[in-house]
Amino acid sequence: MIESGESFADMLLHAWHILPVALLFALPVAALGGLVLYWLRRGSLASTMTVLVLVPLVATLTGVLGVSGFMFSTALTTILLVCVLVAVVTVPAAIVLGRVIARRSVWEREARERERAAEASRRELVAWISHDLRSPLAGIRAMAEALADGVVAEPGEVAGYAQRINSEAARLSAMVDDLFELSRITAGALRLELTAVPLRDVVSDALAAQTPVADRKRVRVLASAQTWPVVIGSDPELARIVRNLVANAIRHTPPDGTVAVRVGVDGQEALLAVDDACGGIPEEELARVFDVAFRGTRARTPEPAGPTAGGGLGLAIVKGLVEAHRGRIGVHNHDGGCRFEVRLPLAKP
């Protein structure tokens, strides 16, 4: 030990002499700590922070013990006690700090992934909508020019052109309505007036609206219910959910096929299932069915061009509306087609 009467130079000389001994004991501990850190490189951040705190502390203790020759004097005991107290304070702090940093890192990573996904969806939506808007607009323009130039003069042909222009305009109007509804959902501007709504009325109105489309395509639409539940929801939005699901099922079901709507109660939820005969959805595409502008590639029956053709927004709107009702929606392949299942909270009796 250094006496109080020693000069500063003597203290430096003494430190220089004991430095190799301290390093001899401390370096193996530091190396072992480095190996532990390497082993934990893919582990939790809290464990890594704990090791980072303990390694220099244990290395310092080992170096002090080595220099003292493991002779426990009063000064050495004091140093050991201080180190233990430091460990008691810093180790829990390192664990808490590691968990906080880990949670923040996970949150930031998820936020970046959501932002990238949203940006990709916006780009995909713009591409799809630009394509879908261009087609009916081009048709309307061509037919309007033909009428204006007198190319079409026969009353029957004029009436046919007028009817086709009206159909394309109706298709454009439906796409604009879908875009407006989707923008309200994604912007969080959708405000629902929740009341007790009988599902029988909602399903009946939706099927009545889609019956002419089904008849033109020779698709049977059947509805059945174990019981007709009453749910908590907004009547217009619930009607749009059912209407979009039934329209989607009719669109992808081949002629002479069947669309089945089944209603029941499952626990504390109302269950609405819509089955089609689309031939099934590839398993790798099931997770993307509710993405904006996603239409799939193979297995589903190709939809025809015309006023009934969708813009790839219907199912995305359905998902947003279901979640706004604090419900859930899912899809899976079922009996030569696919089944969309909507679960909604029941109204209290």
* CATH code assigned at 213: 3.30.565.10
- Report pLDDT for 322: 92
Please classify residue 130 by burial: count the beta carbons closer than 10 Å to its beta carbon, then call 0-12 exposed, 13-18 middle and 19+ buried.
exposed
Distance CA 103, CA 97 (A): 10
Return the percentage of the chain with pLDDT > 70, whole number.
82
* Whether residue 55 is found in the same domain as residue 153: no
More confident residue, 68 or 147: 147
pLDDT grade, residue 289 (50/70/90)?
confident
* Whether residue 28 is found in the same domain as residue 150: no
pLDDT grade, residue 302 (50/70/90)?
very low
Q: How many CB atoms lie within 10 A of CB 81?
A: 10
Among the ranges given (23-37, 190-204, 246-260, 302-316), the one the predictor scored with the smallest mean pLDDT? 302-316
* Whether residue 124 is found in the same domain as residue 149: yes
End residue of a domain, out of 157, 186, 215? 186
Q: Are 169 and 137 in contact (CB under 8 A)?
A: no
Residue 115 counted as domain residue: no
Residue entry with tokens 């904006």 = 292
Residue 177 has pLDDT above 70, yes or no: yes
* Whether residue 131 is found in the same domain as residue 269: no
Q: How many domains does the chain have?
A: 3
Among the ranges given (3-7, 124-128, 195-199, 301-305), the one the predictor scored with the smallest mean pLDDT? 301-305
Residue 194 has pLDDT above 90, yes or no: no
Residue 22 counted as domain residue: yes
Distance CA 132, CA 86 (A): 67
Beta bridge partners of 272: 263, 342
Averaged pLDDT for residues 256-269: 92
* Whether residue 89 is found in the same domain as residue 155: no
**Alpha-carbon distance values, 110 to 122, 324, 347 (Å):** 18, 22, 35
Averaged pLDDT for residues 155-159: 83
DSSP symbol at 346: B
* Whether residue 207 is found in the same domain as residue 333: yes
Residue type, 116: R
Residue 111 has pLDDT above 60, yes or no: yes
Q: The whole model's pTM is what?
A: 0.58
* CA-based nearest residue to 274, from 230, 330, 236: 330
Residue 179 has pLDDT above 80, yes or no: no
Distance CA 232, CA 141 (A): 45
- Report pLDDT for 307: 44
Residue 331 has pLDDT above 50, yes or no: yes
Residue 223 has pLDDT above 70, yes or no: yes
**Alpha-carbon distance values, 348 to 200, 230, 233, 241, 273 (Å):** 17, 9, 12, 22, 22
* Whether residue 226 is found in the same domain as residue 301: yes
**Alpha-carbon distance values, 195 to 77, 240, 278, 319 (Å):** 73, 16, 34, 20
More confident residue, 274 or 13: 274
Averaged pLDDT for residues 149-176: 82
Residue 112 counted as domain residue: no
Q: How many CB atoms lie within 10 A of CB 177?
A: 13
* Whether residue 200 is found in the same domain as residue 289: yes
DSSP one-letter string for 174-193: HHHHHHHHHHHHHTT-----
More confident residue, 128 or 347: 347
Residue 6 has pLDDT above 90, yes or no: no
The SS3 assignment for 225 reads strand
Residue 235 counted as domain residue: yes
Contacts of 180 (CB under 8 A, 6+ apart): none
Residue 138 counted as domain residue: yes
